[in-house]
Structure 1
Amino acid sequence: MTIDRQEDLDGLKEIGRIVANTLRAMAQAMEPGMTTRELDAIGRAYLDRHGAVSAPEQVYDFPGATCISVNEDIAHGIPGDRVIAAGDLVNIDVSASKDGYFADTGATHRVPPVKPSLDRLCRDGRRAMQIGIAQVRAGRRLDGIGRAIGRFASDRGYTLVRNLASHGVGRSLHEYPGEIATWPNKDTRRIHNGLVLTVEPFLSTGALWATDGGDGWTLRADPRAPVVQYEHTVVATGGKAIFVTLPG
């Protein structure tokens, strides 16, 4: 989607706020002993109260309102009977639509107590996302996002999962310019003013790929290693990107 009217930006910010607040509500409610299905129900209730529709359900008939991925499951985890335990890494990904606008956000959360190395991985995962977003500016090449994130990851001894990418969003969940690599690559396409996209690197202590978890949806780390993901939907401008998925 390309934003060229204030009406469109307002609509995008509205659904962006809703998914961000849904993510925050779920993170605040999460505790050991809760199942991922119970956590998903909190997200569904928030979306329903604010007139939003789960994008994974709407677009892909996904069996849950949100994607909840624990430990070795790194993306597209189906909410179910899995019990969240102390020490877990829990990724929550929330995407939804309202009035024809879509927004997408996500974050990995630690269930205390966790190892200091996982605390560091989470901090650096969020930083990797921020570094990528700093490259989102009209006129710049799309591959600047992956190059900047790649330098950061390499300097700190991390790997990046290379088959889970950022993407265009706005009028649908996945749209132009399609997949946007968050690892070093060659993509000479230029970012244009008003382009709406996500930035969502998957930072790891060793994983390189996301592989089929066996249920048709869930993706797992390969090689097996901790993975974190942080995601915002942003709009490109001639200066700093506009954050769409901010709580408030």
Structure 2
Amino acid sequence: MTITHQDELDGLKEIGRIVANTMHAMARAMEPGMTTRELDEIGRALLERDGAASAPESSYDFPGATCISVNEEIAHGIPGDRVIAAGDLVNIDVSASKNGYFADTGATFRVDPVAPPLDRLCRDGKRAMEIGIAQVGSDKPLAGIGKAIGRFASGRGYTLIRNLASQGVGRSLHEYPGEIATWPNRDKRRITRGLVLTVEPFLSTGGLMATAGKDGWTLYSEPRAPVVQYEHTVVATDRGPMTVTMPG
């Protein structure tokens, strides 16, 4: 989607605020002994309260309102009977629509106590996303996002999952310009004013690719290694990035 009018930006900001509020409320409610299904139901209730529809459900018949991935699950985890425990890394990914506008956000949360290397991975994963977002702006190269994230990751001894990319978003969950690499690449396209996209690097201590599990949805790192993901939906402006998935 490319923003051309204020009412479009207002609609995008509204759903951006809803998904952000939902994700952060789920994180606050999360505690050891809770199942991922129970956590998902909290998210579902919040989305419904705010008049929003789960994008994974409506777009792809995903079996849950949100994606909840624990430890070795790195993305698209199906909410179910898995019990959240102390020391877990839990990724909560919330995407939804309202009035024809879509927004997408995600983050990896720690269930204390977490081992120091994983704590550091989380902090650096969020920083990698911020570094990528800083490369968004009118007429900037799309490849600049992955180049900057890749420089940060390699400089700290991390790897990036190279088949889970960012994407265009706004009027649907996945749209033009399609996949946007968050690792070094040779994409020659440039970012146009008003373009709406996600920035969501998957930072790892050794993982290189995502592989699908038996359920057809849940993704795992190959080779197996801890992975974190942080994601915002942003709009490219002449002044740089505008993040719309902020709680408020």
Sort the TM-score into its range (normalised by shorter chain). over 0.9
Which amino acid in structure 2 is aligned with residue 202 of structure 1? F
Q: Which segments of structure 1 move beyond 6 Å, counting only runs of 4 or more?
A: none
| CA deviations over 1:60-79 (Å, ceiling 9, x no partner) | 00000000000000000000
Q: Does structure 2 conserve the Cα–Cα contact (< 8 Å) formed by 1:73 and 1:213?
A: no
TM-score calculated relative to the size of structure 2: 1.00
Distance 2:211 2:166 in 1: 17
Residue 185 (structure 1) shift? 0.4
Q: Does structure 1 conserve the Cα–Cα contact (< 8 Å) formed by 2:102 and 2:169?
A: yes
- Aligned 1:76-115 pairs, distance under 5 A: 76-115=76-115
Which amino acid in structure 1 is aligned with residue 209 of structure 2? W
Unaligned runs of 5+ in 2: none
User: Partner residue of 2:50?
Assistant: 50
| CA deviations over 1:92-143 (Å, ceiling 9, x no partner) | 0000000000000000000000111111000000000000000001111100
Q: Does structure 1 conserve the Cα–Cα contact (< 8 Å) formed by 2:108 and 2:229?
A: yes
Tell me the secondary structure at the aligned position of residue 103 of structure 1.
strand
Q: Does 1:14 align with 2:39?
A: no
Distance 1:213 1:221 in 2: 10
User: Partner residue of 1:182?
Assistant: 182
Q: Does 1:155 align with 2:149?
A: no
| CA deviations over 1:22-48 (Å, ceiling 9, x no partner) | 001100000000000000000000000
Q: Does structure 2 conserve the Cα–Cα contact (< 8 Å) formed by 1:166 and 1:179?
A: yes
| CA deviations over 1:168-195 (Å, ceiling 9, x no partner) | 0000000000000000000010100000
| CA deviations over 1:140-168 (Å, ceiling 9, x no partner) | 11000000000000000000000000000
Identity value in percent: 80
RMSD across aligned C-alpha pairs, in angstroms?
0.4
Distance 2:210 2:82 in 1: 20
Q: Does structure 2 conserve the Cα–Cα contact (< 8 Å) formed by 1:56 and 1:95?
A: yes
Q: Does structure 1 conserve the Cα–Cα contact (< 8 Å) formed by 2:20 and 2:247?
A: yes
Distance 2:238 2:157 in 1: 33
Residue 238 (structure 1) shift? 1.2
User: Partner residue of 2:146?
Assistant: 146
Distance 2:57 2:156 in 1: 37
User: Partner residue of 1:61?
Assistant: 61
- Aligned 1:123-138 pairs, distance under 5 A: 123-138=123-138
Unaligned runs of 5+ in 1: none
Aligned length: 248
TM-score calculated relative to the size of structure 1: 1.00
Q: Does structure 1 conserve the Cα–Cα contact (< 8 Å) formed by 2:36 and 2:81?
A: yes
Distance 2:78 2:93 in 1: 11
Which amino acid in structure 1 is aligned with residue 129 of structure 2? M
Distance 1:214 1:19 in 2: 28
Which amino acid in structure 2 is aligned with residue 43 of structure 1? G
User: Partner residue of 1:197?
Assistant: 197
Distance 1:236 1:168 in 2: 11
